[in-house]
Amino acid sequence: MRYSLLSVLQQAFKGQRDWTPQWRDAAPKASYDVIIVGGGGHGLATAYYLAEQHGIRNVAVLERSHVGSGNIGRNTTIVRSNYLLPGNVPFYEKSMQLWERLEQDINYNAMVSQRGVLNLYHTDGQRDAYARRGNGMRINGIDAELLDQDQVRAMVPFLDFDNARFPIQGGLLQRRGGTVRHDAVAWGYARAASDRGVDIIQNCAVTGIRRENGRVVGVDTTRGYIGAKKVGLAVAGASSQLAAMVDMRLPIESHVLTAFVSEGLKPLIDTVVTFGAGHFYVSQSDKGGLVFGGDIDGYNSYASRGNLATIEDVMEGGMALWPGLGRLRVLRHWGGVMDMSMDGSPIIDKTHIEGLYLNAGWCYGGFKATPASGFCFAHTIANDAPHALNAAFRLDRFATGAVIDEKGVGAQPNLH
């Protein structure tokens, strides 16, 4: 069914009775041309692009739980392309451009909202660093504006500009950044892929990867063996576990990141703001809750829940930035397992095993990458070679030294 104003009106008169499921809940076939492991945003987007751009439709997405149960349904929905380093810059800008036409491409309301992302600075040194970043973006044709204190005041007057320790001096604004409804991204790609012939198979965990003569031939799953000519891994926090099935050790640690939502409020903040003197960021969902978060907990974890020390730290950051937050109640908080890479940048590459491809290392910022990641991973799988946009996201960059360390902190995942 195609969604349109007309279909919404028709259903309104029919008592909403004729809506059909958005995608087929498929059972596994004996074999596929391509199996994508992981039904998160990246896996589903990859399947969509395999079918749409490369005509490869005999594809299955295997998800151990249900679609949307992973980080795609847990993130704080922020999208931006304010990167500095070659490798990252063109990739994230491609992603931003794909967000801008996503809803038309997949005929789905993903609530893409270019409300702007404003990174605050509190010191002269930070202003210089943001000026450099903004210039780097503009040289590459990406929008960026360096704002002074008055300009920031005009946008978000309720912040604590004269805080004794962390006065707000200004900010770097990317107006094209913003938020996208995370669940809708998963559902929209699932529907678009399914419509193009892709089997989306839920409650199907991959337990082994089979090889013959050094080539991948299929996967063992909790729903039996499924053959495949090619297998792409897009399992985010579980990447090391899948890699271990073929005796690979990845430059990745799994860490927990916590997000929070407050009780619902009337419209209060119409952009995304990040605090520059600690780690805290906030936006408001269309339901009215303030959505906010901060640092990862900082230790290896597969628990999907964080600890109080980090929660305290996030709240302190929030209070330093916006004291009015203290009057609010937190409705809930939750965690997700992040695939933190050793240089803070992702991997989209072939592996040394023929027919096995890897998409991993997204850290806490892989939501914004979803469309471009799917686009590039599908290209890499279909052509057995990377696209120019992911040519820098190689797995062997850790051996060659061509790491992409946006923060410049070295091989320490909890600092990225």
| 128, 270, 312, 384: residue in contact with another protein (rule CB under 8 A) | 312
Number of residues interacting with ligand FAD: please give it, by CB under 6 A: 38
Residue 177 engages ligand FAD in binding (rule: CB under 6 A): no
Residues numbered 67 to 86 that lie near ligand FAD (CB under 6 A) are 69-72, 74-78
Q: Which amino acid is at 361?
A: G
| 302, 324, 352, 354: residue in contact with another protein (rule CB under 8 A) | 302
- Which residues lie below 8 Å from residue 158, measured CB to CB, with a gap of 6+? 268, 269, 322, 324
Which of these, 317, 259, 318, 323, lies nearest to 293 by C-alpha position?
Answer: 259
DSSP collapsed to 3 states, 12-56: HHCCCCCCCCCCCECCCCCEEEEEEECCCHHHHHHHHHHHHHHCC
Choose the contact partner of 257 out of ligand FAD, another protein, none; CB within 5 to 8 A by kind. Answer: ligand FAD
Q: Specify burial of residue 205 (Cβ count, 10 A radius: 0-12, 13-18, 19+).
A: middle
Least CB distance from residue 298 to ligand FAD, whole Å? 14
Residue 308 engages another protein in binding (rule: CB under 8 A): yes
Convert residues 204-223 into a mask of x (bound to another protein by CB under 8 A) and - (unbound).
--------------------
Q: How far is CA 255 from CA 37, 268, 313, in A?
A: 20, 32, 17
Residue 65 engages ligand FAD in binding (rule: CB under 6 A): yes
Residues numbered 326 to 385 that lie near ligand FAD (CB under 6 A) are 336, 338, 362, 364-368
Question: Which DSSP string corresponds to 134-184?
Answer: HHHHHHTT---EEEEHHHHHHH-TTS-TT-SSS---EEEEETT-EE--HHH
Residue 64 engages ligand FAD in binding (rule: CB under 6 A): yes
Residue 298 engages another protein in binding (rule: CB under 8 A): yes
| 90, 170, 293, 374: residue in contact with ligand FAD (rule CB under 6 A) | 293
Residue 331 engages another protein in binding (rule: CB under 8 A): no
Choose the contact partner of 37 out of ligand FAD, another protein, none; CB within 5 to 8 A by kind. Answer: ligand FAD
Which of these, 163, 126, 94, 150, lies nearest to 317 by C-alpha position?
Answer: 163
**CB atoms < 10 A from the CB of 213, how many?**
6
Nearer to ligand FAD, 257 or 376 (CB): 257
CA-CA-CA-CA torsion sign (32, 215, 243, 53): negative
CA 52 centroid distance within chain: 21
Residue 242 engages another protein in binding (rule: CB under 8 A): no
Least CB distance from residue 284 to ligand FAD, whole Å? 14
Candidates 22-30, 36-44, 109-117, 125-133; binding stretch for ligand FAD (CB under 6 A): 36-44
Choose the contact partner of 240 out of ligand FAD, another protein, none; CB within 5 to 8 A by kind. Answer: another protein
Q: Give me the phi and psi of 209, to 5 degrees please.
A: -120, 120
Residue 244 engages another protein in binding (rule: CB under 8 A): yes
Number of residues interacting with another protein: please give it, by CB under 8 A: 27
Residue 259 engages ligand FAD in binding (rule: CB under 6 A): yes
Q: Give me the phi and psi of 249, to 5 degrees please.
A: -110, 125
- Contact present, 64 and 204 (Cβ < 8 Å): yes
Residue 411 engages another protein in binding (rule: CB under 8 A): yes
Nearer to ligand FAD, 156 or 245 (CB): 245
Tokens of 62: 């295997």
Choose the contact partner of 72 out of ligand FAD, another protein, none; CB within 5 to 8 A by kind. Answer: ligand FAD
- Contact present, 32 and 58 (Cβ < 8 Å): yes
Q: How far apart are CA 332 and CA 261, in angstroms?
A: 6
Choose the contact partner of 299 out of ligand FAD, another protein, none; CB within 5 to 8 A by kind. Answer: another protein
Residues near another protein (CB under 8 A): 240-241, 244, 249-254, 298-303, 307-309, 312-313, 342, 398-399, 411-414
Residues near ligand FAD (CB under 6 A): 37-43, 62-65, 69-72, 74-78, 205-206, 234-236, 238, 242, 257, 259, 293, 336, 338, 362, 364-368
